[in-house]
Amino acid sequence: MKKYDLLRSGNTIIRVLEVQDGRVLVIDCIKRTMPIWVNMVALELYSECTSGELSEATGVAMVGVDNLDADQRKVMYERYTMIAPILSFVADDGMRSRLIGSAAEEHEVSKQTIRSYLCLYLSYMDVAALAPRRRNDDRQLTQDEKNIRWALNKFFYTTKKQSLMTAYTMMLKGKYCDALGVLAEEYPSYYQFRYFYRKTRNLQNFYISRDGLKNYQRNNRPLTGEGVQEFAPAVGMGMLDATVCDIYLVNDTGSLVGRPILTACVDAYSGLCCGYSLSWEGGVYSLRGLMLNIISDKVDWCQKFGVSIQKEDWDCDMLPAIFVTDMGSEYTSGNFEQIAELGVKVVNLPSYRPELKGLVEKFFDLIQESYKKHLKGKGVIEPDYQERGAHDYRKDACLTMADFEKIILHCIIYYNSQRIVESFPYTEDMITSQVKPYASQIWNWGKSQIGANLISIGKRELMLTLLPRTTGKFSRSGLKVNKLRYHCEGYTEQYLSGGDVTVAYNPEDVTSVWILEDGSYIEFTIIESRYQGKDLTAVQELQESQKVIARDAVRDNLQAQINLAQHIEAIVGSGAGRGDVHMKNIRSTRRREQAKNHRDYMKEGMSHE
């Protein structure tokens, strides 16, 4: 018997660590408890054992250090470093205990962890024993694990968002109860259920299955892209959106009107606000105002509100060649998509993906943060407005739309020309050009670079392009559009030959319509002057009122026709007894009748005065 020998007796395998004066320090390699001293006589029944027998008995196959991966080797050596100072003092119980305590404190683990590593190494006397075992991914699931996975998929990973305990209960009900609903004697515990869930949980599946793919894309997906500049490498991509402002306004008489709608276009490259529209109406109406504002000279526009700016502070009077919008009805309508005729590309983002146009969303946040802190108590809505007992902020309203638009204008000017854009990815050329970190300066620099994608367009052509369209019909009575008649010189042949044509019309004034002919707009004016200057809704109401009056008179008209027929028949009947008609001397008979029925109308007229 010598040091480090393996001895076996039945199911017990021990390793000899020290031999001194008839005593032997041994460790139980199966139980892996701390080494103890025993008399040499107590080991007479033990026989020699091999490392292979030890591996077979413990079910742990030893792997050479060279066969371990980098992570396993790293952990193995870290564990050996913890126990290395203790190995020389394994036979001294007191010193061993003190060293175990010191190692646990130094490496911030428990004493039991140090003891476990020490016993594991002493049992095998091989540093490879300290390496963590590879997970066996090919292991077949037990029936209990299959039942747990079934319950998780059926009850937990669903949009109903059931709790783990509920899923566990439903598993027991479905898999571990008999026909009468009595629970079986053996079943997995809740802790086993929870352990399997935590071990197999995939966060991506968790978020998608319980909250949906759209919510995952918006709130949980990894943000590993380069940012907006990844798909907007140059000036010319405008992001459109609208929001209801967090403030109540009044009219000139002090009556509450409500909350205005702010529509804006923000350049994806520079972050510049290209234009805005502040109105009480949303939809296509606000978009027309936005488009007009984008191509307007901003110095002149600000001057209307008594605000003076420099040209370089807001030098935007052209349309971005690409518009990025969400799935709002105003953007997907045919009216707005007609802007593609000007060379503008409209990109409709998937619904519920506001992060794909994050710059315009952030623009609204920054603008509202700019004015809200200065307008507290002036109708601004605070975060508690939906809570029970919260203050009614409508009572604080005191600003009109004109006042508020001046405030919004100042906020936009600050946003464009004075707010520092800290996160913009500067290039070497921008640093060389000393471009200041303002959206307006980045925009001005970007406009001069290759790739800037802007379109110059006139106001008239832009508005005509955005007008709603319908089909008009030529006839002898003119061009019929929306049940109204229009005329233009030079179209006699079309009036006679007929045919259909595409027509742009203004719902707010029916005085004129424009036909699309070879890419140009030809104006036609209304023939029926009584409708001139009226909007389409008012004209349709007039036409409908006329129809109602005519429908109401139908019964009276029929009755009058019946009465007329009766009178005629009565008169004809009274003359039915006359004899045969004499056909001779018709002219002389006519002269006698003329003389008999002749009346002096002048004499009759004078007699009544």
**Averaged pLDDT for residues 257-266:** 93
Helix or strand (DSSP H, E) at 197: helix 190-200
Residue 305 · residue 296 · CB < 8 Å: no
3-state secondary structure (DSSP) of residue 279 = strand
d(C-alpha 467, C-alpha 463), whole Å: 6
C-alpha dihedral, 200 to 204 to 209 to 215, nearest 10°? 160
pLDDT of residue 206: 92
Sign of CA dihedral 149, 150, 155, 159: positive
Work out whether strand 478-481 and strand 345-348 pair parallel, antiparallel, or are unpaired. unpaired
pLDDT of residue 385: 65
CB count within 10 Å of CB 542 equals 13
pLDDT of residue 216: 84
Q: Is the model's pLDDT at 166 over the cut of 90?
A: yes
Long-range contacts from 467-470, C-beta under 8 angstroms, 24+ separation: 467/335, 467/504, 467/505, 467/506, 467/514, 468/334, 468/335, 468/504, 468/505, 468/507, 469/334, 469/335, 469/338, 469/502, 469/503, 469/504, 469/505, 469/516, 470/502, 470/503, 470/505
pLDDT of residue 343: 85
Please report, as a single letter, which amino acid is at residue 489. Answer: E
- Which residue, among 210, 238, 224, 418, has the nearest Cα to 325 in the 3D structure? 238
CA 66, 72, 74: angle at the middle one, nearest 5? 95
Helix or strand (DSSP H, E) at 568: helix 554-574
d(C-alpha 283, C-alpha 320), whole Å: 20
Tokens read off for 302 = 């600000």
- Which residue, among 402, 440, 439, has the nearest Cα to 299 in the 3D structure? 440
| Region of residue 32 (phi > 0: left; psi between -120 and 50: alpha; otherwise: beta) | left
Residue 155: band (very low, low, confident or very high) from pLDDT cuts 50, 70, 90: very high
Q: Is the model's pLDDT at 137 over the cut of 60?
A: no
User: What stretches of 317-450 show up as alpha helix (H) in DSSP?
Assistant: 329-332, 334-337, 358-372, 401-417, 428-432, 439-447
**Residue percentage of the chain with pLDDT more than 70:** 93
d(C-alpha 409, C-alpha 306), whole Å: 11
Residue 326 · residue 354 · CB < 8 Å: yes
pTM reported for the whole predicted model: 0.63
**Averaged pLDDT for residues 504-516:** 91
Q: Is the model's pLDDT at 609 over the cut of 70?
A: no
pLDDT of residue 138: 63
pLDDT of residue 381: 87
